[in-house]
Structure 1
């Protein structure tokens, strides 16, 4: 005979299941009174009333400081994990709003809400959750952080190296980077406690300078190419300077690189600097997908000189390009420190000559042999180790698949677990029927798991309903944005909001008139769209057609 405690527990669980069904039926307005619903589902009317008022099931009741039940917190925890897996970890306010949504589903009036410190205590109850500062991450970069895409690219690099027999000494990476001449980076400073966050003066010259840099996998660097904004070269750039003689300079209208500049760098810098240091016949050149690297002339010259260019997947240079991983950041930090030291001396403007003084010093800080070797290793190129990069890909921009069903079909080997899919529910219900006679205690445990799964499904559906409402609202706003007018306002000088509204309303009237209204009643008729009068093809006189021409009868 089963223990009395086990029987009572099973009865409470069965009653709780009937209460949930009764509550759902009442919310769907299937019953006109609580008495009728209590009779149909065989539950106490007083218990049904208290449950509708927001009082939870006794077995699920927790400490007074924990307003959510264990099932509700587990639903909230799984929702947070799913968002984190999709690269959209929620903020504390979002988690607090989701908790309040679960509390509103209880139907209490007024609805219960969590306090401002509830999220902090909730995170403390789960060891694998923590509150951290997020970092900005470009959505297009996250899209490219696909393990399949990255593995395909590494397989292509490996096959290219094996096909052409390229040695590590013949692997290069080149890219361009930009500098705003007079801007410095944010840095830690020591100041008086009473001053708060200290403002640091900087020259503020935002003129753009681009440099083309290239490095070799064994730890040496090629001469740079400096691109200044301008039309001509200035003698002051090269007078009284200690610049290396193998550096190259060029100018462009905006200080950026171009197809012609990239092609000239390949012919006059890369090929002469690397030909004498080749270990094999072919050289591998890793580059990004910038337009100046993808021209037909660039590929032709590479082919003629046994250079194999390989472009990285778009928006993946932060993972695969050695220059971005270990050098450009150090280079810009060193340049910023040098500009800051000039500001402390009272220099209020940094020009091109000052840049040519500071940039060689910054390169000495950044271009160290070990730094370059470590950069190629971090990019998994030399030594070739794709796992080092693939293991960093932790953001997945898709909904994680549902867990597969578990266990065997044997009721005796069945382990009660919370069902997650319809198949799991059916299997567990079938197993409970078989276990009711063989092992009532195990059947009781399995039934509790089904009730738990129902709770999780209801709580998850409540959160999803809120997300769907927000998505519909966002979709409506997007649709409304697409319907906005693209008409332009012809006006010289500044314009006030009132004047703009009058012009816009006038444009609307003109449009309505042009669509078929009475142009005579319009204060601003559209003369450009007015139809010309008909012209006779016989007498060439406007005002009538050929069939009504007076000279036709003559």
Structure 2
């Protein structure tokens, strides 16, 4: 039971163990607990495959699954501290600007390539490889921008087509009220998002006296100066999600874009079956996304997305502790700062080390001290034409140079001995560095 619980915990932390790693762990677990193990376990230093098969039967809650790749950033970013801070900001904005339920919106964009992975099909059981026709090897991506409200409504979408010049035929058969925009890359940027926000303003009753709250991610196009100015003038208060947390906090990602992509994949396949030998182009994207958009942007899905994210109705404790487990691998304790204004924000600095030149052999400098010496050679000129002094670390030498050898510092002043030379140049180098 202890081994099974350990494997479950590793899985929740997004660091699940493979069957081979589980065999080795079981062997080490038995040895550490003084249990008798078979001879072949000792020879191979791991448990056998037969034992592992019976282990899975004894623990039906365990199974071998194909994991979904999750980046380290996303696993560590979604933690209780970050989520609590987001909900603090959310309730503060709603209270300060008197945002009522039904006035909370969410916007996000997603790509629609002309080539999608085909859905599952019925095939011969013994067939080694099953093929399905698609439009091309690689598709061209069109961006769609969606807007949803916690009341269950939505705003007509915006299409960003990968073309320099926009043609009305590209979006003529799209969703009712949609807007078509052309951009060479087909991706959203500051200018195209400003046009999308202006399109959104036409369908939403908002002003400075009657504001709304718009939740969105931290994409650079959303933070553009012109976008923020337009939102401020239109009574649109923008609140961003924490980085790499949109998979849990963004309603569109939670309950809308998933059904939309599934319905779109089936719609693409139906079109290819009805038009054999033809290819899907960007002129067909708006028409093909019309039905999937209407089927997925439903009040049920939209309300479910806001509810499961804890945004509307407001629920700070919507996420169980198990969802924060992946961030445990990178969590570090932090020191709490005092809120007393009379106390200093930072601890007092440590006393500086006395770098004066020792006057007797008994006085010694710290063993780990590194002295930077400015050489008396000309400055080095870099490739950009800028001259800089040559600063190199060196060991401290306290012996004199002798009466027959004169030493000069970086200003040309004659020093009595090597120690005076190094002391002066050390102070100069420290002042230039610090």
Specify the TM-score bucket, using the shorter chain as the normaliser.
0.5 to 0.7
Distance in 2, Cα, partners of 1:381 & 1:310: 12
2:50 to 101, 117, 127: 117
Distance in 2, Cα, partners of 1:317 & 1:167: 23
Q: Secondary structure at the match of 2:326?
A: coil
Q: Does 1:387 align with 2:317?
A: yes
Please show how residues 480-491 of structure 1 align to structure 2 within 5 Å: none
* TM-score (normalizing by structure 1): 0.53
* TM-score (normalizing by structure 2): 0.67
The structure with the greater share of residues assigned to strand is: 2
Tell me how far 1:129 sits from its aligned partner.
Answer: 4.5
Q: What residue number does 2:106 align with?
A: 173
Structure 1 383/96 Cα, relative in aligned 2: closer, same or farther at 3 Å? same
Q: Secondary structure at the match of 1:117?
A: helix
Distance in 1, Cα, partners of 2:126 & 2:181: 49
Q: Does 1:306 align with 2:235?
A: yes
Tell me how far 1:196 sits from its aligned partner.
Answer: 4.4
Structure 1 248/85 Cα, relative in aligned 2: closer, same or farther at 3 Å? closer
Distance in 2, Cα, partners of 1:179 & 1:320: 22
Distance in 1, Cα, partners of 2:301 & 2:12: 33
- State the structure with more CA Rg: 1
Structure 1 374/81 Cα, relative in aligned 2: closer, same or farther at 3 Å? closer
Answer whether contact 1:145 1:395 (CA < 8 A) is retained: no
Deviations 1:133-172 (A, max 9, x none): 4332222111112012111111210121112110112110
Q: Does 1:211 align with 2:144?
A: yes
Distance in 2, Cα, partners of 1:224 & 1:139: 32
Q: What residue number does 2:405 align with?
A: none
Q: What residue number does 1:316 align with?
A: 245
Tell me how far 1:184 sits from its aligned partner.
Answer: 2.6
Q: What residue number does 2:409 align with?
A: none
Q: Which stretches in structure 1 are left out of the alignment for 5+ residues?
A: 1-72, 402-554
Structure 1 91/280 Cα, relative in aligned 2: closer, same or farther at 3 Å? farther
Distance in 2, Cα, partners of 1:375 & 1:284: 16
Please show how residues 148-547 of structure 1 align to structure 2 within 5 Å: 148-181=81-114, 183-204=115-136, 205-234=138-167, 236-237=169-170, 241-243=172-174, 246-266=177-197, 268-275=198-205, 281-345=210-274, 346-391=276-321, 393-398=323-328
Deviations 1:247-272 (A, max 9, x none): 22111121101111112222x21222
Tell me how far 1:81 sits from its aligned partner.
Answer: 5.4
Answer whether contact 1:213 1:224 (CA < 8 A) is retained: yes
Q: Secondary structure at the match of 1:395?
A: helix
Deviations 1:97-143 (A, max 9, x none): 23345678899998344322222223444566544443322221111
The structure with the greater share of residues assigned to helix is: 1
Structure 1 78/172 Cα, relative in aligned 2: closer, same or farther at 3 Å? closer
RMSD: 3.0
Q: Secondary structure at the match of 1:332?
A: helix
Tell me how far 1:82 sits from its aligned partner.
Answer: 5.4
